[in-house]
Chain A
Amino acid sequence: MSWAAHEFENYVIQRHVGVKVSFLGIVLGTLSPDLFTKSLVYSSDDPAQFHRGWPGVGFSHSLLFGVVLALLALAVTRSRSWSLGILIGQWAHVFTDIADTAGVMPFFPFSTEPVTISMWRHAAAEGAYGDAAAYYSSLGGVWDLFWLVVLVLVARRTLTADYFRTTIVPADPRVWAWLHRRTGLGERGLLTLYRGLCFYGAGRMVSWFLYARLGAKTPFQPVWDGPSYLTSFNDLSDAGPVEVLWRSALGGLLFAVFLWLLWRLLGARLWRRGVDPPSVERKRTFL
């Protein structure tokens, strides 16, 4: 699993989608695969299987799960920006988690074959602290750092007050206005709240890295398929690369057909009755 990368990628995505997509929607999307399942992962008998496999809650790390959540959001709120945000955020989480040995089932239920590039070992079986120590002893920690660097290089503007004022709030005016009314926070407070996720990502990255080096004293082994001090790989499939490719290609094809049908039968209708943020609608009127 990825740790702080899931926090940083929100801002990088937001930089690319701008005012058309709700930042809070993206955040909800990136959180959704682990939101109700992560606390149960560490207490299960087979954490990797439970977290990413089937049977288990691995469906939460599938592309279809994001589609269902996005359609639900569109049906209930009629907000296109929230629906898109949840979809993009959830899909980003799925693709980010391909990197560990347990992998994800992107095309569930059409394929239950885990897809992984095995950059680091899924270590939930070590317990919460052991998992953190293993992650920040492997390429996982480097992966987090990579996303922080991308955020600084590509999307640092998203953290400015000006960006918050001109893009984040106009993409989601009702929710930020509601937060203002309910909490009494002014612009400075809401901006601090908005930046909080980035702060949390950086903070937990440094804290857990220090814990791994000074507390757990695990060896730093940022090599492919590391850390090698772990004895279990937690790879959920013993299929070879060709078999994985074939099953995933078939699953992907079936998923694409299903997605097209779902759009024709339901998605397009919900999208038509959905609404954009006022600032996007104004731009369209001018065009």
Chain B
Amino acid sequence: MPEAPRRGVLAWSLTFVAYVALGYATKGLVLNWIVGPLFPLLALVILPRILRRQPDGERTP
């Protein structure tokens, strides 16, 4: 499998595991029609974009 698709599969898999863990822990908070479908967008697109925009100095404590 080429590098880019492999990274995509890994990212989706990790996001899925995180969602299931959060879902099990918080139930109704993330297992609903609003947060659920938007979760991969937040985790895979919006969050990395926000982190990339931050200057390097702010990202590390």
Contacts and interface: CB of A to CB of B under 8 A. Distances in A.
Interface of A: 31, 128-129, 185, 188-189, 192-193, 195-197, 199-200, 202-204, 206-208, 210-211, 214-215
Contacts of B44: 192
Interface in B6-37: 12, 15-16, 19-20, 23-24, 27-28, 31, 33, 36-37
Given A31-B33, A128-B28, A211-B27, A203 B41 contact: no
A197 B37 contact: yes
A199 B31 contact: no
B13 to A, nearest CB: 11
Main secondary structure of the interface of B (DSSP, over half): helix
B16 A208 contact: no
Interface residues of B, number: 20
B7 to A, nearest CB: 13
Nearest to A195: B40
A193 B34 CA distance: 12
B41 A193 contact: yes
A203 B23 contact: yes
5 contacts: A189-B45, A196-B37, A200-B33, A207-B19, A207-B27
Nearest to A200: B36
B45 A204 contact: no
Given A192-B44, A192-B45, A197-B37, A203 B16 contact: yes
A200 B39 CA distance: 8
Nearest to B46: A189
B39 A207 contact: no
A193 B39 CA distance: 9
A214 B23 CA distance: 13
Contacts of B50: none
Contacts of B24: 207, 210-211, 214-215
B38 interface: yes
Given A200-B36, A210-B24, A189 B16 contact: no
Residue of B24, B41, B46 with highest tally of chain A CB at under 10 A: B41
A203 B38 contact: no
